[in-house]
Chains A and B, each alone.
Chain A
């Protein structure tokens, strides 16, 4: 079984500042993928960033970057220059590689508030 844990139910950040959301996971697979999804008040799930476990380089998408620590099974999301539109629920998720099925396992989520 695989698990994903987000230990911060709520976080807040000042506009233009940087915030880091934490995520730890557990899996026995060697081939897997990690994702961060954003769910704004509209409740539409939006893919923010993804990381392949076999890649050592941390993924980056504009103001969003991850700190992937494979040995520690940690996958944190850093949001730089926070904007009001970043306010949302953020979910960390894990998916096994193609040969082991393709279901996503989600963490409990972190509600991010951005203060003006």
Chain B
């Protein structure tokens, strides 16, 4: 079955460390997105990519980095420059054409210890 796989489901990071969250899709979607979700808040866009080897900053890109070397993969690195990284991270992709919503992964819960 087609879908989006995020791993790991839970991730613990020590302060000062970089960590990478994985997002893989087999839907053949061009566009992929990373969102951050904090308690009591909606989803905020971190980065997005509409095509391989291209990506754009979202609203809260500081302290994060991404790459898009393959259509299927859009990993997110949370760097030590991100001051408050504890959050729930959601990856999504979208089929081309108007009117389509996103397909979401099941998310990664990142906790700084």
Residues of A within 8 A of B (CB): 4, 6, 9, 31, 33, 35, 37, 42-45, 47, 50, 52, 91, 93, 95, 97-98, 102-109
Given A102-B94, A108-B41, A108-B42: A50 and B107 within 8 A (CB)? Answer: no
- What residues of chain B lie closer than 8 Å to A31, measured between beta carbons? 98
Q: Are A108 and B97 in contact, CB atoms less than 8 angstroms apart?
A: no
State the majority secondary structure of interface residues on B. strand
Closest to B30 in A: A102
Taking CB atoms and an 8 Å cut-off, the chain B residues in 1-54 that contact chain A are 31, 33, 35, 40-45, 48, 50
Query: With A and B bound together, what is the CA distance between A98 and B97 in angstroms?
Result: 7
The distance in angstroms between the C-alpha atoms of A50 and B48, with both chains bound, is: 21
User: Which residue, B44, B88, B102, has most C-beta atoms of chain A within 10 A?
Assistant: B102
- Interface residue ranges, B against A (CB under 8 Å): 31, 33, 35, 40-45, 48, 50, 58, 88, 90, 92, 94, 97-99, 101-102, 104, 106-107
Closest to A109 in B: B42
A50–B101 CB distance below 8 A: yes
Set B45, B88, B101: member contacting A35, Cβ < 8 A: B101
A102 and B43 alpha carbons, distance in the complex (Å): 15
User: Beyond A52-B99, A98-B97, A102-B31, is A43–B43 a contact (Cβ under 8 Å)?
Assistant: no
B residues near A109, Cβ cutoff 8 Å: 40-42
Tell me the bound Cα distance from A106 to B90 in angstroms: 13
Choose among A37, A50, A103 the residue that contacts B58 (Cβ–Cβ < 8 A).
Answer: A103
Whether the Cβ atoms of B106 and A42 lie closer than 8 Å is yes
- Given known A44-B104, A102-B31, contact A91–B97 (CB-CB < 8 A): no
